Structure 1
């Protein structure tokens, strides 16, 4: 009995030692991870959505949709509440995101044209700094037709990991190509789900890499077709209960309610997937050392001002969500910011936050000093549209070529014919009252015209007819004298 007790007692002491040692090791491991994250370069995850207008989130006050995961992200992020898409259409925004340049510089001022494969892109710069780079989802920068593979090499603009395609909006039979495999593949289900899982796999695999990563996850939703989200999400939204914005005309109200119900279904699914992404970042220990940017390439009018989709300078088209979740070690306060961050500003800001030298080719603003409270920038920004054609900018729908300047209070747009729009966005957030020619706003209009002219001079923009730019860049013109243009 004595020996039995002695063995048991020794076992007990051994167990205590093991547990104590294990806890100590665990704590040391946690401390090592924390210390490592304090000194290591941050990861970068850009969550890019297609056609998600800034007004359509819970944190922005939309009464129709709950976005709890985005709301939680917004609560721990910098929210550029006045951010815009400098040319509110798909390919131009994407090219500006990748190059830090304005559309008339990089040449992608319309959809379905190729970004110069020699461009200095965000992926190429991060590669040189030892980052792993990846891209998942919709590309829309290759200009060689829909659904096809963007071949490995220069056409992928520096991204090493690849699961995507040029462009498709068939979200339930979505085509993609897997890295160097030339065979066409199909995501098994709703591609928003599948692309999220692919991103999570990529993130998990980075745990074994010594390098930080920069990845862009590019969703095709909530872009039309509006009614193709999974049924469980579509069932959440009754068109009859949708509350419309006050600038939707009577003749479009019924259609807009139906389409918004589907639009919000896509958004609800995206919100769940963003929550899933963030949970996995936390579970993998990477959340506290990852810069997360959530944004969209442009908005969607969805009936506002009697029009649909994008390109026009109205709030629903031009404003985009722009959240920056930044690791605490960078000591940048969270909360709303008034500055009008634009498309070309994303690349230099991310490079700066990662302590990477910004290339001379970049035209955008580095917002890090602003975020640190050292500078005041972004009091105004430029919108550009060179297209006198296109599904969403037809003259019969009120569209035209324009240049616009946006401040924190006003939107002013000039067409080739002269002053076109002037809105006081603070007292008229739905932009129902065009103040061009209004005697009470003569001085405001003059000031905005001077500011716009100054900005055009600074950027070397002569504001020529759109076809002049198309000829300059050698883009194809069909027998009618216009450019074949798709969405």
Structure 2
């Protein structure tokens, strides 16, 4: 009888122990599942894909980005859908194509009703912060330029912590506005105090899930305004330029490249401080950290500067994504192309947040988490309206195109314009457009492009149609072209 009672007591003890152990384990698993990752986007302006050490460039100094790359996914073909500042930002924050959100021209306003990254994350309990260049307030027709004005609270698209300048390319002792529209100054080279603010934000919010966007102005021109110690790191006389820089421009290209590199290395130093701060705050493992750029810079390749054009120097940008908790810390190259509208849904997917219906881009988080490539055939590139340094009077033209992991195919309003085999011709010097020897391949790429345009409801109209539709004005009269432009030669 005693033995039976003892057995019953022992059995009851095991049941109770199992019950509480199971409950504790289940509760722990539930808590772990509920842990939300932080999201930090480090955005440079006009930093092209080729100019980082981790991609094989031996003359630029980017030790901190190289260290980050050793722990990150490296996107070999991150493609900016529209290689201009404001359109990239609007497309990134909304996950939409430029002709959907209406920001296909600089200094045009992103509508208040747009559903943006910060607003989506806030609905999931995140705090949100933005530091640096904004360039989405813009101004409507007939309004004065808003570049030097504070951004109204209802125009901040869901970001609460706010140390922002609409647009400036003066990177030394430049002013900005805080949450209360009070004018402040970033002392010295603005990359450094902006990074200090980001570090402070991380420390204050490390116990709460946050989204932070740190938006630098450089290495966008002016090219020669980085701190002198960084300019001194580069000898103009020893730098090599890309083979597609015409001989007549190579001296100028080396000079510009030295200043550009100085900006990049200064940013790299600041990123090193930010990475250290993440480690010290104890949040690095559970933070999705993205480094990328809006677009590249021709830097005298093909004899021109800056962006908008469909060449790799302008459309390809560096991109790293580190998320140790779910992606590990082993570096891996992602080869398939990814476009700007795809970034937001992919970040949401990595954060276990469903994309709203307004998002047009593709979510590639499953592929990334599974250790696969994207399975994406091509990224769409476009320029609905040429303007600024590539306005009509300077040879600008509307175009639509695709960038696959190997080929670039582009049409203008007259038909096929550019076709490059980037594997055989990495500097895009041999245009294969309408070459009968590659007709079948060109037809395949044409079909992919047409399918992309159909999927995005893009009728590929002349620029003036879009300017009229959105009630926009060209910035200068010499942007306008003659009525018979389709009859003119290329």
Which band: TM-score by shorter chain? Answer: 0.7 to 0.9
- For residues 284 and 331 of structure 1, do their structure 2 counterparts lie closer, same or farther at Cα, with a shift above 3 Å needed? closer
Per the alignment, residue 149 of structure 2 pairs with 148
**Structure 1: 5+ residue stretches without partners:** 1-32
TM-superposition CA deviations, 1:19-44 (whole Å, max 9, x none): xxxxxxxxxxxxxx999777511100
2:129 paired with 1:134:
yes
What is the CA-CA distance between 1:400 and the residue it aligns to? 1.6
- For residues 246 and 394 of structure 1, do their structure 2 counterparts lie closer, same or farther at Cα, with a shift above 3 Å needed? farther
Does structure 2 conserve the Cα–Cα contact (< 8 Å) formed by 1:307 and 1:392? no
Per the alignment, residue 62 of structure 1 pairs with 57
TM-score normalised to structure 2 length:
0.87
- For residues 308 and 137 of structure 1, do their structure 2 counterparts lie closer, same or farther at Cα, with a shift above 3 Å needed? same
Corresponding residue to 2:317 among 301, 320, 336: 320
What is the CA-CA distance between 1:357 and the residue it aligns to? 1.6
Per mean C-alpha deviation after superposition, the further-off stretch among 83-92 and 338-347 is 338-347
What is the CA-CA distance between 1:470 and the residue it aligns to? 1.0
**Structure 2: 5+ residue stretches without partners:** 1-27, 140-145, 481-490
Per the alignment, residue 101 of structure 2 pairs with 106
**1:55-454 matched pairs, under 5 angstroms:** 55-144=50-139, 145-152=146-153, 154-180=154-180, 182-207=181-206, 209=207, 211-329=208-326, 334-373=331-370, 376-394=374-392, 396=394, 398-454=395-451
Does structure 1 conserve the Cα–Cα contact (< 8 Å) formed by 2:306 and 2:314? yes
What is the CA-CA distance between 1:47 and the residue it aligns to? 0.3
- For residues 376 and 48 of structure 1, do their structure 2 counterparts lie closer, same or farther at Cα, with a shift above 3 Å needed? closer
**Distance in 2 between residues matched to 1:334 and 1:478, nearest whole Å:** 44
Corresponding residue to 2:467 among 467, 470, 473: 470
- For residues 58 and 394 of structure 1, do their structure 2 counterparts lie closer, same or farther at Cα, with a shift above 3 Å needed? farther
SS at match of 1:288: coil
Does structure 2 conserve the Cα–Cα contact (< 8 Å) formed by 1:312 and 1:393? no
**Distance in 2 between residues matched to 1:274 and 1:36, nearest whole Å:** 31
Corresponding residue to 1:41 among 14, 36, 53: 36
- For residues 449 and 132 of structure 1, do their structure 2 counterparts lie closer, same or farther at Cα, with a shift above 3 Å needed? same
**Distance in 2 between residues matched to 1:178 and 1:478, nearest whole Å:** 29
- For residues 425 and 330 of structure 1, do their structure 2 counterparts lie closer, same or farther at Cα, with a shift above 3 Å needed? closer
- For residues 75 and 411 of structure 1, do their structure 2 counterparts lie closer, same or farther at Cα, with a shift above 3 Å needed? same
Does structure 2 conserve the Cα–Cα contact (< 8 Å) formed by 1:308 and 1:392? no
SS at match of 2:338: coil
What is the CA-CA distance between 1:225 and the residue it aligns to? 0.3
**Distance in 1 between residues matched to 2:125 and 2:387, nearest whole Å:** 43
What is the CA-CA distance between 1:376 and the residue it aligns to? 4.6
- For residues 245 and 479 of structure 1, do their structure 2 counterparts lie closer, same or farther at Cα, with a shift above 3 Å needed? closer
Does structure 2 conserve the Cα–Cα contact (< 8 Å) formed by 1:63 and 1:243? no
Cα RMSD (Å) of the superposition? Answer: 2.0
Does structure 1 conserve the Cα–Cα contact (< 8 Å) formed by 2:79 and 2:403? no
Does structure 1 conserve the Cα–Cα contact (< 8 Å) formed by 2:364 and 2:374? no
**Distance in 2 between residues matched to 1:212 and 1:356, nearest whole Å:** 13
Per mean C-alpha deviation after superposition, the further-off stretch among 328-337 and 220-229 is 328-337
TM-score normalised to structure 1 length:
0.88
TM-superposition CA deviations, 1:221-278 (whole Å, max 9, x none): 1000000000000001111111000000122111111111000000000111111100
Per mean C-alpha deviation after superposition, the further-off stretch among 447-456 and 288-297 is 447-456
